[in-house]
Amino acid sequence: MTTDTHKYEDSMSTTTPTRAPHSDAPTGHTSDRGRAGAGLFDPGQLVTSLPDALRKLDPRVMVKSPVMFVVLVGSVLTTVFSFTDPGDPFGWAISAWLWLTVVFANLAEAVAEGRGKAQADTLRRAKTDTVARRLVGEREEQVPGTELRIGDLVVCEAGDTIPGDGDVVEGVASVDESAITGESAPVIRESGGDRSAVTGGTRVLSDRVVIKITTKPGETFIDRMINLVEGAARQKTPNEIALNILLASLTIVFLLACATLPPFADYAGTRLTMVVLVALLVCLIPTTIGALLSAIGIAGMDRLVQRNVLAMSGRAVEAAGDVSTLLLDKTGTITLGNRRAAGFVPVRGTTEAEVADAAQLSSLADETPEGRSVVVLAKERYGLRERHQGELVGAEWVPFTAQTRMSGVDVDGRRVRKGAAGSVVAWVKERGGEAAEDADAAVGRISEAGGTPLLVAVEDERGARVLGVIHLKDVVKEGMRERFAELRRMGIRTVMITGDNPLTAKAIADEAGVDDFLAEATPEDKMALIKREQAGGRLVAMTGDGTNDAPALAQADVGVAMNTGTSAAKEAGNMVDLDSDPTKLIEIVEIGKQLLITRGALTTFSIANDVAKYFAIIPALFAAVYPGLDKLNIMHLSSPNSAILSAVIFNALIIVALVPLALKGVRYRPVSADRMLRRNLAVYGLGGLIAPFIGIKVIDLLISLVPGL
């Protein structure tokens, strides 16, 4: 986000953009579209995703998941061996359930992808082929939007659809971005500053703007969103790759273990068929987490999309879960972004009412939020009627300039000025007046408190003199202290970034409750801070929307760019917040942590499952030849065949049962890592041990009722 380089100690900026009602001001909540369906699971999705699940049986796709590829190979082998003995119902039953296990695993991933495709279909409806009004010199020509190139200038007026991504270089307009964000409230886009970026497919509601195209056709923001939410660009994260390696290693270990069983069986005078060995292998390898791993990652990105945050890769989502340092821009993130009048301080010999009257009079021509706040404060606190420029007949308005650093009005024989302290004092002395000592003291107090002092002076029949000081204050958003306390409980350190001087920065930091701050920050300072944090082994997240934020967003492990920001910021970040709510970074961190916790919880459940299935199958298989193993046959299953088939059926059904949890995610609570580990072991570890004993026993009882099995 832009740093606060416009300091009223040095100047009175009149270029602060005025927000229209319902504009880009952060709302503190996600859109209705974001809330709808967030974390929900519709059983009907299983049916609609079934064709995709069947298409994923392609070995070239399955080989990407070593565990499930082994199950696929096992399904083929058992099917082949079943054909050699077509009269054996046990072989056919095992084959059928192994195929279902593979399909159910693909179904979990297909359901997760299907939810993303539904989002993509919505975006495609917003993407239309438009006719652009391209500027060639001073004239306009109509061309298809697909012919636009980077650098082209196009004109858009009320009712026009913006033909491509770009930056407003001339004018200001109200734009309907509901096709992207789901919010019906229009936003303001204007040339200059950090609210100049526009997105192809959105619609201009009022006024006229000239837009400079910044992307090629087919590479627009909506095109990228469609590709990303469909999962086409999703890459495995380092932790996911490491877990895949672990699962592949376990699969190899159990493969070797099963390969050693036939000699033991032959020695004991019994025989293990290939169907039994494959079924045993599938039940012992970690098929549950292997089947759900991809779905968990896709669902994590989908949860971000449901909250109107677009993640450029799965790495960004996972990194958000490990973030330990959070950099937040002050303006627009921690504060409302516009200084507001908080009080009038009179000097000796004047009253607050006199200062308020002169301050309001000198602010009538000041259309900045700061100027309007002076008028409103004078009206609300002192009952002064809000006057208008047209009522002051013969008034000469003095606009603000960078040279004078003052503004005001000459009317009814009086000259009223307000502005930076040094400029107003110099103006008074030029007219033979003296600066009041208590005015200097008030300026010092306001500056030390983190506010911005503006002097108000007047020249009338009594001469030139200072009347008092206007206290401008940067207002901290409501609830920020509580949000930062929540981040602290997560173990995340917060750092406020601002262009203000250290005194002002400290005052705001103390009021907001951040852990640290960086004052008078330049892009180089931000980069240096991020690199220092990363050198200490910490992952850094940052929000931003300005071009000057782009280097830091690119350096940060999680760079969240605001959709209202410049194209450079959105290109540099690895996430884009479509609602442009900087405080949403807290939700992003929670979703990242939830993804990691879900993966860990289901891995714990899966391994515990394997242990339980081991005790269900092995004793039942060898109890007849090794009577000592009968003590481990605690479930007393009907027969060895029933034990194996029950385990295979349970192995397939548990995948379907866990799909909703994989998509919704395990609930995240801001607690310490050791408490979280104990909870996972107690809930998912113990649950993973108990569930197979109950499930396999129930299935065994049902199988015993089927003749021939």
Known binding positions for ATP: 366, 370, 400-407, 418
Q: Compute CA 562 distance to the chain's CA centroid, rounded to the nearest angstrom.
A: 10
Query: CB–CB of 318/133 below 8 Å?
Result: no
User: Three-state SS string across 142-188, please?
Assistant: EEEHHHCCCCCEEEEECCCECCCCEEEEEEEEEEECHHHHCCCCCEE
- Catalytic residue of the set 223, 329, 557, 577: 329
Judged by DSSP in three states, 464 sits in: strand
Closest CA to 15 of 33, 34, 2: 2
**How far are the Cα atoms of 316, 385, 387, 461, 579 from residue 439, in angstroms, in the given order?**
52, 26, 27, 21, 43
Q: Which residue has the tokens 């000469």?
A: 396
Query: CB–CB of 584/297 below 8 Å?
Result: no
d(CA 186, CA 164): 18
**How far are the Cα atoms of 344, 350, 472 from residue 356, in angstroms, in the given order?**
6, 11, 13
Residue 528: Cβ-neighbour burial (10 angstroms; 0-12, 13-18, 19+): middle
d(CA 239, CA 216): 35
Both structure tokens of 377: 């404060």
Q: Which residues are annotated as a binding site for Mg(2+)?
A: 545, 549
User: Three-state SS string across 319-336, please?
Assistant: HHHCEEEEEEECECCCEE
**How far are the Cα atoms of 228, 229, 295, 377 from residue 113, in angstroms, in the given order?**
11, 8, 8, 53
The CA radius of gyration of the chain, in Å to the nearest whole number, is 34
Judged by DSSP in three states, 131 sits in: strand
Query: CB–CB of 541/520 below 8 Å?
Result: no
d(CA 305, CA 289): 24
357 noted as active-site residue: no
> Strand 558-562 vs strand 575-577: parallel, antiparallel, or unpaired?
parallel
DSSP assignment of 479-523: THHHHHHHHHHTT-EEEEE-SS-HHHHHHHHHHHT-SEEE-S--H
Rounded to 5 degrees, φ, ψ at 86 are -60, -15
Residue 692: Cβ-neighbour burial (10 angstroms; 0-12, 13-18, 19+): buried
**Per-residue b or e along 214-236, where b marks 16 or more CB atoms closer than 10 Å to that residue's CB:** bbebeebbbbbbbebbbbeebeb
Q: Which residues are annotated as a binding site?
A: 366, 370, 400-407, 418, 545, 549
Closest CA to 302 of 492, 63, 41, 602: 41
User: Three-state SS string across 206-251, please?
Assistant: ECEEEEEECCCCCCCHHHHHHHHHCCCCCCCCHHHHHHHHHHHHHH
**How far are the Cα atoms of 9, 178, 214, 395, 399 from residue 405, in angstroms, in the given order?**
10, 40, 36, 20, 9
Could you give the count of Cα atoms lying within 13 Å of 440 in the half-sphere of its Cβ? 6
Judged by DSSP in three states, 103 sits in: helix
Rounded to 5 degrees, φ, ψ at 42 are -105, 115
Closest CA to 415 of 465, 365, 475: 465
Q: Which residues are catalytic?
A: 329
